[in-house]
Chain A
Amino acid sequence: AQSVTQLDSQVPVFEEAPVELRCNYSSSVSVYLFWYVQYPNQGLQLLLKYLSGSTLVKGINGFEAEFNKSQTSFHLRKPSVHISDTAEYFCAVSDWNNNDMRFGAGTRLTVKP
């Protein structure tokens, strides 16, 4: 079965600074990888996904992630964050039919003025 480890539970950063949220996964089969964001009192919404093809994936709100198969990582990056990016971010891994999508414990990103 797949599993996901998000290496940082909290990441504080100042506005307009770059940020990287780290995610490592383990799986014995080909996987699909996702990053979701959760704002307060809301459900999760998709930021970006990797299914196949280019290892650099661009998502919404200026975020991007890079799939690194040799390091089994899928780190999320943004070159310049805004106050509005303050939220909880979840990395997830799934097999081909989504019957067992596994989520990490989440990283709380706090952007300070």
Chain B
Amino acid sequence: ETGVTQTPRHLVMGMTNKKSLKCEQHLGHNAMYWYKQSAKKPLELMFVYSLEERVENNSVPSRFSPECPNSSHLFLHLHTLQPEDSALYLCASSQVHPEAGELFFGEGSRLTVL
């Protein structure tokens, strides 16, 4: 496989469930990102991992918990979500050293919270 792969593509969960989103990149990049895309709103940067260390956490509620076990994999663990968390969650990767390049995005995981 090439590029950035996200699974599952669609997820429906209740407010008391625990689920995880998975992202894998096959581009040899050293940074990975989670973005939230809601209708009519700009993409919201949630988390950034650079060289496997979290470098950005934009005041995201603790019901979202990221994990980056290595430079190729990124997870977003979800628990006790709210209906307003329903959105498209996009994973991206990039090279940040020695110079930043563009972000490469996965196709997203469409999350619906009932």
Contacts and interface: CB of A to CB of B under 8 A. Distances in A.
Interface of A: 4, 9, 32, 34, 36, 41-46, 49, 51, 90, 94-106
Contacts of A36: 105
Contacts, number: 64
A98 B94 contact: yes
Nearest to A4: B42
Contact of A102 (B40, B45, B55): B45
B105 A32 contact: no
Nearest to B99: A96
Contacts of A9: 40
**Interface SS of chain A:** loop
A49 B94 CA distance: 14
A106 to B, nearest CB: 7
13 contacts: A4-B42, A43-B90, A43-B106, A43-B107, A43-B108, A46-B103, A51-B99, A90-B43, A94-B100, A99-B96, A100-B45, A101-B45, A103-B35
Contact of B41 (A4, A49, A105): A105
Nearest 4 pairs between A and B by C-beta? A43-B105, A103-B43, A98-B100, A44-B105
B48 interface: yes
Interface in B62-106: 90, 92, 94, 96-97, 99-106
